[in-house]
Amino acid sequence: MNRQIVIEKMFGYLTDEHKQNIHEEAFRDIANVFLDLYDEYDHQWGQYVEFKTGEREEKPDRPVSWVCNASMGHGKTTVLICFLKWLASETNRKKRIPVLLVIREVGMIKDIYDELKAFNDECIVMVDSTNRQEIEPYIHCHQFVIITHARLDNLALGLGNLHTYRLWKQYNTWAWGEILDEDNIISKRNRLMIFDEKPSFVNASVFDIGSKHNTLDWFDDLATPLKLDALESQCMKSYIATLVAYQLSQNATSVTTALAQKDDLSLFTQTLKKIIIKIKNHEDNKGKLESLRQLKHFQKLLNKDGAGRIDDYEIRGQSGRKIIISERIDYIKLKMNMLVLDGTAIFTSQQYKGFKLKEVNNYNDYSRFYYHIETINTSKYARSKKGQTTQRAISERIMKLKQSHPDMFVLPMKSDIEIYKQLGAILEDIQYFVEKSNEDSKPINLLNTTGKNELKDRKALYLTSLPKMNADHYKKIAISLYGTKVDLGMNDEDDANWFKDNKLELIYCGELQAELLQIMHRTALRKIKSKDEIHVFVAYDDEDMSKLKYQKSIPAFSHSMNQIYCANKAVLQADYVVDESQYGRGDKLRNYADLIHHWIHKNITVFNPLPMRISEIDKPNKLGEKFRDWLNKHWNEQEELINKIFSEFGYVIYEKKDRYSEKSKYITTIQKNHDRLMFGE
């Protein structure tokens, strides 16, 4: 194979407009990764044929598992489509290679399907929940099959017939509805498997006795076809809840023991086991894949010591325990040649055990990228405070920034969208946050940006908090990797690390950095030929808080992203967003401001004008001295908050050198301060 000719042919599938926008070197690099995979598959196929014909004694080489780290905006999907077109155009039918495409985003599935369908009407089929039963008998007839990540996970866990999706049977002729004649087969081949993003790697369930009562979700769903009478159904549900509750209340360790011992011959246990067998095998339950996964986990908890982890939690004063059972999905065991396209794989490398990294150059110029740390507590608790003080402070900041960044897109958590709408921070783009009945995908929010085109031309983006998942999300990953050898404990809120165990903290940081970079590259930053400046503002105070609050330095979290991904070229900047309630000083400051305002109103005259040293205010009662002492303690960290509150009364506080100090504190009116800055004192 002459690679240069092949890559030129692949490039030739692009439209003239697309050729203008694509980065040719990036296209070539990624195309070479696909062609490496093709060569590996072709080599193994040759070995397989020789082995079957007796020309060689050794079995073929094992399938490869690769991850390609081509960055966002480098055209991975574009090259993938061109590669598939090249495979479909193979004229020697016996040399054609089949592919199983595993795509996360519904919109991308349709885009790839439509383009390949237009290129070759019969080469591709997509499988979803609406057509699976109709399509599955004919899946093996198509060279390319597209499925979702969730469907592959279920197949890998034994929920479905993997062989149907893995094997391609190439027929001379076939038609829908006809009985397929095995004598009509040209060849049988296992498919290549290509993921468009990092697979989940995790199969997990949580069993809790609390307000959610998810211990019984699977039973309620799967027991319905059995039509149990009310008493029998309630007996089983009560028994399941009792088994879990007993484990959580009596097992003082962090590892579960079997909920039912092997020698347990009680009527309840035996009845429960019989019902489980019935619901597993019931025809009506075959499509209830999520509930079947939970059932499998419950069975492991029921029969096996050490199947799950017990996690203690405390949330806003409410404490309790829950069981997390989590297992690694080992895609390598599927025995398919596999390529994952994951531009941020470097941050989640622990999860790619057994994979080989296929590196591709990052051609983006990150010197045009400005990463702004907007220092404010945006934890879930801070965002739930009465009066939405955090959201109000951020909204004020956004309004100010939009004056210099008019195309700024504001990206809140789903739960905060209505608040920011009411505060006016997202009114210009409100249509993107509204669910539309004619669209398959959900509206955009901070945790749902995959496949969204709303951001692709934006040069400024504001994230109203970090894209943090629930802590259980990271714990599930850690348990799937380390089992009982990871501490699930969490630190106090003011600790620099969220989790006590460094292994778990590294998983959290890696997942978070990967998600941040994915979101940032959905903006015009992905246009790697562009020279436009891109500004991304992120509101949080999670990293090295003491330095952030008191020394105004850039913390390690941002440095690591810059160093590892942006070649230390991104511009890092830190600023403060002042939330009065965050520091508990708003009320005290406002009280000082009110007292000083009343004193000034009664005492300032043309003979005793402003500006005035703070310590001169109400000397008999030492009001000015007390406030001066308070200012000296808090000025460096809270100057913006102080002047924000005093501006409500029409004043500004500032520092200047006089005979008493290098930095004496003075107060004056806003108008006089303007004149002072314009014309001097």
Report DSSP state, residue 605. Answer: B
**pLDDT of 146 over the 80 cut:** yes
Mean pLDDT score, 51-77? 89
Q: Sign of dihedral through CA atoms 355, 360, 361, 364?
A: negative
Local confidence band at 492 (pLDDT 50, 70, 90 cut-offs): confident
Task: Report which of 650, 655, 653 is spatially closest to residue 671, judged by C-alpha positions.
Answer: 650
Beta strands 409-411 and 460-463: pairing type? parallel
Q: Which range is least confidently modeled, 40-49, 68-77, 229-238, 581-590?
A: 581-590
List of residues 6+ apart from 432 with CB closer than 8 A:
443, 444, 452, 454
| Closest by Cα among 157, 182, 153 to 170 | 182
Residue at token pair 């404490």: 319
Task: Give CA–CA dist 497/556, Å, rounded.
Answer: 12
pLDDT, the chain, mean: 89
Share of the chain above pLDDT 90, in %: 64
Which among 131-135, 167-171, 323-327, 630-634 has the top mean pLDDT?
323-327
The answer to whether residue 321 scores a pLDDT higher than 90 is yes
pLDDT tens digits for range 219-233: 999 999 999 999 999
pLDDT at 551 over 50: no
- Residue 409, classed as helix, strand or coil, is strand
Average the pLDDT over 592-619 and give the result.
Answer: 87
For residues 352 and 69, the answer to whether their CB atoms sit within 8 Å is no
DSSP 63: P
**Residue 408 pLDDT exceeds 70:** yes
Greater pLDDT, 583 or 34: 34
- The whole-number pLDDT of residue 602 equals 84
- CB-CB contact of 256 with 488 (8 Å): no
Tokens 């993003």 belong to 197
Report whether 627 contacts 614 (CB < 8 A). Answer: yes
The pair phi, psi for residue 445, each rounded to 5°, is: -155, 180
Residues 6+ apart with CB under 8 A from 213: 241
Distance CA 564, CA 558 (A): 10
Residue 432 has pLDDT above 70, yes or no: yes
Beta-strand ranges (E) seen in 150-238 are 167-171, 185-190, 192-195, 202-208
If you ran DSSP here, which 8-state letter would residue 108 be given? H
Residue 307: is its pLDDT beyond 70?
A: yes
Whether the CA torsion 503, 507, 510, 513 is positive or negative: it is negative
pLDDT given for residue 544 in this prediction: 46
pTM: 0.83
Please report, as a single letter, which amino acid is at residue 176. Answer: W
Residue 583 has pLDDT above 70, yes or no: no
Percentage of residues in the chain having pLDDT higher than 70: 92
Lowest mean pLDDT of 200-209, 297-306, 574-583, name the range.
574-583
Helix, strand, coil percentages, rounded to 5, for the chain = 50, 15, 35
pLDDT for residue 253: 96
What is the rounded distance in angstroms from the CA atom of residue 76 to the CA atom of residue 69? 10
Q: Give the pLDDT of residue 516.
A: 95
Q: Which residue did the predictor score with more confidence, 680 or 533? A: 533
pLDDT of residue 553: 43
Asked whether the predicted pLDDT for residue 440 surpasses 80, the reply is no
Is the pLDDT at 535 greater than 60, yes or no? yes
428's tokens? 């210009």
DSSP string, 13-35: TS-HHHHHHS-HHHHHHHHHHHH
pLDDT at 637: 80
- Look at residue 649 and tell me whether its pLDDT is greater than 80: yes
Residue 213's pLDDT band, with cuts at 50, 70 and 90, is low
Distance CA 498, CA 508 (A): 8
What per-residue confidence (pLDDT) applies to 580? 60
**Residue 143 — very low, low, confident or very high, per pLDDT cuts 50/70/90?**
very high
> What does the pLDDT read at residue 266?
86
Q: What is the Cα Rg of the chain in Å?
A: 31
Q: What is the pLDDT of residue 548?
A: 40
Which stretch of 282-286, 418-422, 671-675 has the lowest confidence by average pLDDT? 671-675
> In angstroms, rounded to a whole number, what is the distance separating the alpha carbons of residues 655 and 613?
9
More confident residue, 253 or 55: 253
Q: What is the mean pLDDT of residues 179-190?
A: 76
* Per-position b or e across 103-141, b if 16+ CB within 10 A of its CB: bbbbebbbebbeebeeeeeebbbbbeeeeeeebeebbbb
| Cβ(624)–Cβ(667) below 8 Å | no
Euclidean distance between CA atoms 326 and 350, whole angstroms: 16
Backbone angles phi, psi at 44, to 5 degrees: -65, -40
Pairing state between β 612-613 and 409-411: unpaired
Q: Is the pLDDT of residue 610 over 80?
A: yes
